[in-house]
Amino acid sequence: LIGVAAAYGMYLACREAQQGGEANTPADAAALLLATRPTAVNLAWAVERQLNGLQGLDDPLQRTAVALAMAREIEAEDIERCRRIGEWGVSLIEDIHRKKKDTVNVLTHCNAGWLACVRYGTATAPLYEAQRRGIPVHVWVDETRPRNQGARLTAWELAQAGLPHTVIVDNTGGHLMQHGRVDLVVVGSDRTTRAGDVANKIGTYLKALAARDNGVPFYVALPSSTIDWNIRDGIAEIPIEERDTEEVSFVRGTLKDSQEVALVRITPEGSPAANYAFDVTPARLVTGLITEQGICPATEQGIAQLFR
């Protein structure tokens, strides 16, 4: 969704300039958008695609029309990519169910569902496809501190779909894996290097470590627009966004009695906090990548064979 939103952001900037607003160039709008999320590569991919398509167009009306057409094209492509990720990824769930002959327990982290995409999601697309095919699935939903995207977004999304799920605190996943209660881990990606290192929401790396220690398959679902072909070493080369520390020091929620939404401090005043939004999971911990082109090993050779 970040890439799609950026594409429409470029369109809105062109429309504003056409209507006599601030006369920013597409390059100015691009710079503003690119500064918002340094870790997610598909934002840069969509912005670059818009810039290339708008190059040489001086007529404001034509530029706006072209920007809108490209944004709609990127949106349609995103939907199709996620649908195909679901069709490829469901095979993993089918295989487990065939052997287990019982409900498949999948653990996911953060929100990589249709609220984070246009439709279907990436990590959730195989879950919805499994549900559609009548395969019994249960999802362990990491709360995903500090923004609680799992507890607030993924859980809501799964509830709307009637898909069985349980919200767990972030540190529970390892315990569940030790006791054989997780069959598969599927997460999304904000940026994946050409060698298979994966940048995703903070805490993903710890899930991958626990999965490896307990022999649980760890898969990453991602569209090709999330692959950064220019870098190889994710730990050394992917910039990690640091967000406002108030996200750590405060939590927002609905008060039990009044049902009012409130912001509540949960750390002592004067205690400093750090808020790294993402971490990098080395390719060696990733069982495979689920893409719109198929499933491949998280290796430079595996990715290249699938896409080039």
Query: SS3 of 235, please?
Result: helix
* Structure-block tokens of residue 221: 């679902």
On whether the CB atoms of residues 288 and 303 are closer than 8 A, the answer is: no
| Distances 123 to 115, 128, 208 between C-alpha atoms, Å | 12, 10, 15
Evaluate the omega torsion of the peptide bond into residue 164 and state whether it is cis, within 30 degrees of 0. Answer: no
* Structure-block tokens of residue 254: 């609905």
Spatial separation of the C-alpha atoms in residues 135 and 127, rounded to whole Å: 9
Out of 190, 197, 228, 279, the active site residue is 190
On whether the CB atoms of residues 275 and 146 are closer than 8 A, the answer is: yes
On whether the CB atoms of residues 134 and 97 are closer than 8 A, the answer is: no
- Contacts of 240-244 with C-beta under 8 Å, sequence gap 24+, read 240/39, 240/199, 240/276, 240/277, 240/278, 240/279, 240/280, 241/37, 241/38, 241/39, 241/276, 241/277, 241/278, 242/274, 242/275, 242/276, 242/277, 243/275, 243/277, 244/275
Q: Can 190 be counted among the known catalytic residues?
A: yes
Q: Is the dihedral of CA 194, 197, 199, 200 positive or negative?
A: positive
Catalytically active residues, by annotation: 190
